[in-house]
């Protein structure tokens, strides 16, 4: 057996999770080689093939804080305190995310955040980024990673025998793992795709919609959303079926697109001047959920972020979950020193079920955002839910637990089911706040959710 | 656009489905090149890495009949009329498969069947087998298939632009399809593995257990089964967890294996003389379920059999389902001539849901075989079920519908659920046949299963 070198770590992918994880590792004294198959995005123009906007929340911010990058990043972030619902007539209604109306998620540019994380990571002596280097082949028995230069075609063996795969939903390393014995794997696509459009800034960089909200145009089986950018623009994303009567396939002419927007999103027509050009110039992208197990191979390989658990974007948790993977992996490193077998085993054990939970919640939230958010019944239950939160300490909505706390996703899911049962008991057959039995509510909450449950940051 | 040659078809894999499909195609006048990455199994000794015995039933036999291969194949087949249950004391109880006790499934050797199908296929002028030729790369836009000689390493482009992928659960062509847009895919392993053992023939080639039965040793969370071979031997398969207290991982010494068999399968100890050698010499294999969609790429590629829908073996339907794919594809060819776009689209539409249904039934049947088959309650319900079948024309057990009829698997699944509901109503709270209300039974059956439902081959 050759002596293994634990001081050098291979990191596949210089995306968000890869750049962050590199810093966690460098802070622990590891030398880190980051292999990225694409060119350095700071030096080339062009689409990265991914959504332009992200929602950063508490779990992601925690990781940035621990790596000393919070302050810098938050300068690029725009707080959003709730959803602004746009109906077919252009009427807007604000729904706060939290009972204190102070908690927020942050709109941030994926590309700017990524570039910024790379640059901060590069300032660590131990971190080296290697661009145009694709992970070509993983030898799981030795832990050796073969890297291929995408320009010269030359292959080389990376130093080190530990690889962290942060190479995204279509992870090359996971494709290799797929052929190892008893590797469970699934990739599942939604019938909906998405297309991005732009609302440019108003005169002098003003915001033409409310700046501090996530805008939603819920239309039942489809929806559009918009997130603010620092320059005053908004990035809109239309989530729409690929096929069927109302589908991208049937929006094949400028007339059809114009008619469609006039009917469903009339208030956006004056705001999106390049609609017809952009609609046909921009790609229609797909939405995948990736699940797999195991995430690790002995003490040699671990999958992190989208490589292990790509999810749909409807809870705004993809990046936050990936960053939380890094936070947890760092905790495991603190606990187990350089025993990577134990580090990886505990990381997987702590994260797998939580990844499943957020994957399922993200799928469920699509229905909420595109459909029920505009429903009378939903709004009444939301009102009751906010009151329960304001009146009774231990009651937090699932959205609050996921977005404003760091309790495990699995626990958020579990408490969310209890919340729904409590709301059923309190609201079934009622439609007026005066009819709600708040004494019963308090009893139910204390019994089922625990009288002393709190999350930091809430009164 | 280059002119496409519809007269030559590429077939990936010379396994059971590939050899059969080649004959269906040759009968329609196509030239067929079969590419098999392994050597010719008729010329080399050695394990094919797959289960030794198969259960052939009506769906499979139908395909053999249509291709003129039934008579030859059935000479190798041993009829099994039911399950022989072995309890911990060696007591044996026979459970017939069908109400008429005449319907049977057939034990057949995978290797002998495969060799025989290959030889019969080769007698067709249009069919050529190419061994040691791996399907290396599929260009979906042109339909061109690159084949690699596994000995010389030489690559060549196969003639023709239509490929039928019969290359099994780990299909190379499906791996390429996995990277095409919006391809849904999952591979899921059971926590159980399997190991094959042998009961040799008695003196003069006699059978040491009942020849015409599928033997089961149900033990709750695990089981052993045995199928007869023409030479008087039985192939035993132990289905057992990989890990845990009672698991392959814990049967690591000859003492442990001997103690385990003495406790759970005492009647097999005198029958398996090479138990301890074979147990450690034979591999422990895994059990996978593969699901994917789509199965086709335009008019160029279709997945068939395990490549599209590998299932666990507990309904004895893996090969039968694959053969039925070929039968259905042949029907689609008859309907749509050489319009392969239509042929493939209809094939997929007719088969996908049926494959899902048999995949689910195969997983469910594992629980029945290893556990409930030995349960008093199960046995009582089985008795009632057989009586319903004998008394009332339209009542067929799910097992009969799957194994002795060719009604779509999805329909067998649907009727199976209705059966269970009827049995619940008739047997709940009762444990004596005298308590069963057969008038009510007739009403329920006629109402819910249709008074005039019949399947051929039953009185």
Give the list of residues 6+ apart from residue B452 with CB closer than 8 angstroms, or none. B394
- Looking at CA atoms only, how far is residue B280 from chain A in angstroms? 19
Handedness of CA B138, B144, B148, B149 (dihedral sign): positive
Contact call for residues B237 and B217 (beta carbons, < 8 A): no
Provide block-wise average pLDDT over 10 residues at a time, chain A (459 residues): 66 98 96 97 71 91 98 97 94 90 94 97 96 96 96 96 97 96 97 96 96 96 96 96 97 97 97 96 96 97 98 97 98 96 98 98 91 83 91 92 96 96 95 94 94 79
For A175, nearest residue in chain B (alpha carbons): B175
Say what the pTM is: 0.92
User: For residue A194, what are the β-bridge partners?
Assistant: A239, A285
Ramachandran angles phi, psi of A83, nearest 5°? -95, 135
Low-confidence ranges of chain B (pLDDT < 50): 1-3, 48-49
Partner-chain residue, chosen from A182, A184, A189, that has the shortest CB–CB distance to B182: A189
Instruction: Measure the CA–CA gap between B452 and B459, rounded to whole angstroms.
Output: 13
Task: Look at A186 and B183 and tell me if their CB atoms are within 8 Å.
Answer: no
Total count of residues recorded for chain A: 459
Ramachandran angles phi, psi of B452, nearest 5°? -110, 20
- Give B-chain residues touching A188 at CB under 8 angstroms: 184, 186
For B188, nearest residue in chain A (alpha carbons): A184
For B186, nearest residue in chain A (alpha carbons): A186
- Give B-chain residues touching A179 at CB under 8 angstroms: 170
Contact call for residues B165 and B255 (beta carbons, < 8 A): no
pLDDT for residue A2: 42
How far is the CA of A153 from the CAs of A133, A135, A136, A156, in angstroms? 9, 12, 11, 10
Count CB atoms within 10 A of the CB of residue A285: 15
- Looking at CA atoms only, how far is residue B264 from chain A in angstroms? 27
Burial class of residue B73, CB neighbours in 10 A (0-12, 13-18, 19+) = buried
Question: 């300490």: which residue's tokens?
Answer: A393
Partner-chain residue, chosen from B170, B182, B185, that has the shortest CB–CB distance to A286: B182
How far is the CA of B146 from the CAs of A179, A189, B3, in angstroms? 21, 28, 19
Task: Look at B170 and A182 and tell me if their CB atoms are within 8 Å.
Answer: no
pLDDT for residue A3: 46
Is residue A299 left, alpha or beta, with left meaning phi > 0 and alpha meaning psi from -120 to 50?
Answer: alpha
Contact call for residues B153 and B132 (beta carbons, < 8 A): no
Instruction: Measure the CA–CA gap between A16 and A50, rounded to whole angstroms.
Output: 12
How far is the CA of B83 from the CAs of A167, A285, A425, B217, B436, in angstroms? 50, 52, 51, 10, 25
Count CB atoms within 10 A of the CB of residue A328: 19
Selection from A160, A156, A74, A95 nearest residue A338 by Cα: A160
ipTM of the complex: 0.89
- Give B-chain residues touching A249 at CB under 8 angstroms: none
Instruction: Measure the CA–CA gap between B206 and B229, rounded to whole angstroms.
Output: 11
Q: Which helix (H) or strand (E) is B82 found in, with range?
A: strand B82-86
- Looking at CA atoms only, how far is residue A283 from chain B in angstroms? 13
- Give B-chain residues touching A178 at CB under 8 angstroms: 187
Q: Choose the mutation target among B171, B179, B189, B242 for the interface with A, i.e. most A CBs under 10 Å.
A: B189
Count CA within 13 A, CB hemisphere, residue A147: 22
For residue range B407-446, what is the model confidence (pLDDT) as tens digits?
999 999 999 999 999 999 999 999 999 999 999 999 999 9
Task: Look at A189 and B183 and tell me if their CB atoms are within 8 Å.
Answer: yes
Task: Look at B183 and A170 and tell me if their CB atoms are within 8 Å.
Answer: no
Q: Choose the mutation target among A187, A191, A249, A292 for the interface with B, i.e. most B CBs under 10 Å.
A: A187
Count CA within 13 A, CB hemisphere, residue B138: 27
**In angstroms, what is the C-alpha Rg of chain A?**
23
The residues of B whose Cβ lies within 8 A of any Cβ of A are: 170, 178-179, 181-189, 242, 286
Count CB atoms within 10 A of the CB of residue A376: 8
Partner-chain residue, chosen from A170, A182, A186, that has the shortest CB–CB distance to B286: A182
- Looking at CA atoms only, how far is residue B188 from chain A in angstroms? 5
Selection from A418, A420, A425, A458 nearest residue A441 by Cα: A425
Burial class of residue A100, CB neighbours in 10 A (0-12, 13-18, 19+) = middle
Ramachandran angles phi, psi of B237, nearest 5°? -130, 120
Partner-chain residue, chosen from B179, B183, B188, that has the shortest CB–CB distance to A184: B188
Q: Choose the mutation target among A171, A186, A193 for the interface with B, i.e. most B CBs under 10 Å.
A: A186
- Looking at CA atoms only, how far is residue B288 from chain A in angstroms? 8
pLDDT for residue B295: 98
Partner-chain residue, chosen from B184, B188, B189, that has the shortest CB–CB distance to A187: B184
- Looking at CA atoms only, how far is residue A170 from chain B in angstroms? 8
- Looking at CA atoms only, how far is residue B289 from chain A in angstroms? 10
**Token duo for residue B261:** 């068999």
pLDDT for residue A427: 95
pLDDT for residue A51: 61
Contact call for residues B175 and B24 (beta carbons, < 8 A): no
pLDDT for residue A459: 54
Task: Look at B187 and A184 and tell me if their CB atoms are within 8 Å.
Answer: yes
pLDDT for residue B3: 46
**Token duo for residue A294:** 């195991």
Give the list of residues 6+ apart from residue B203 with CB closer than 8 angstroms, or none. none
> What SS3 class is residue A329?
helix
Contact call for residues A170 and A178 (beta carbons, < 8 A): no
Beta strands in A233-342 (DSSP E): 234-241, 285-293, 296-297, 301-303
How far is the CA of A340 from the CAs of A301, A332, A349, B66, B91, in angstroms? 9, 9, 14, 58, 51
Q: Which helix (H) or strand (E) is A427 found in, with range?
A: helix A409-427
CA dihedral B240, B242, B245, B251 (to 10 degrees): 80
């Amino acid at each position: 057996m050759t002596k293994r070198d634990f001081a050098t770590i291979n990191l596949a992918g210089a995306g968000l999770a890869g750049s962050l994880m590199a810093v966690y590792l460098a802070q622990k004294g590891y030398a880190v080689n980051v292999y990225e198959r694409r060119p350095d995005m700071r030096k080339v123009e062009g689409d990265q093939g991914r959504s332009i906007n992200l929602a950063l929340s508490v779990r992601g911010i925690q990781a940035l804080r621990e790596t000393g990058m919070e302050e810098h990043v938050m300068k690029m972030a725009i707080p959003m305190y709730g959803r602004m619902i746009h109906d077919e007539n252009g009427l807007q209604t604000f729904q706060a995310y939290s009972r204190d109306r102070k908690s927020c998620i942050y709109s941030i540019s994926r590309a700017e955040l990524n570039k910024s994380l790379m640059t901060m990571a590069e300032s660590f002596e131990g971190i080296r980024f290697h661009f145009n280097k694709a992970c070509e082949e993983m030898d799981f028995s030795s832990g050796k990673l073969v890297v291929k230069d995408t320009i010269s075609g030359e292959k080389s063996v990376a130093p080190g025998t530990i690889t962290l795969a942060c190479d995204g939903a279509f992870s090359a390393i996971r494709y290799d793992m797929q052929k190892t014995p008893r590797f469970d794997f699934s990739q599942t696509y939604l019938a909906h795709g998405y297309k991005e459009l732009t609302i440019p800034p108003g005169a002098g960089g003003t915001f033409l919609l409310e700046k501090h909200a996530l805008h939603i145009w819920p239309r039942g089986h489809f929806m559009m959303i918009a997130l603010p950018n620092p320059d005053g623009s908004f990035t809109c994303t239309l989530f729409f079926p690929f096929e069927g009567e109302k589908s991208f396939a049937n929006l094949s002419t400028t007339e059809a697109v114009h008619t469609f927007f006039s009917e469903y999103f009339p208030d956006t027509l004056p705001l999106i001047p390049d609609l017809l050009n952009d609609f046909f110039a921009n790609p229609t992208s797909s939405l995948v959920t990736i699940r797999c197990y195991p995430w690790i191979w002995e003490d040699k390989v671990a999958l992190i972020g989208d490589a292990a658990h790509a999810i749909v974007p409807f809870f705004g948790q993809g990046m936050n979950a990936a960053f939380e993977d890094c936070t947890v992996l760092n905790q495991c490193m603190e606990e187990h020193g350089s025993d990577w077998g134990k580090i990886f085993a505990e990381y997987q054990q702590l994260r797998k079920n939580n990844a499943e939970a957020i994957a399922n919640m993200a799928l469920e939230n699509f229905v909420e955002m595109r459909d029920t958010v505009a429903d009378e019944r939903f709004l009444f239950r939301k009102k009751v839910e906010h009151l329960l939160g304001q009146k009774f300490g231990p009651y937090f909505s699932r959205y609050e637990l996921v977005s404003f706390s760091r309790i495990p996703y699995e626990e958020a899911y579990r408490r969310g089911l209890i919340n729904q049962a409590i709301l059923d008991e309190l609201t079934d057959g009622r439609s007026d706040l005066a009819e709600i039995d708040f004494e019963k509510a308090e009893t139910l909450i204390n019994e089922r959710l625990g009288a002393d449950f709190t999350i930091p940051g809430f009164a």
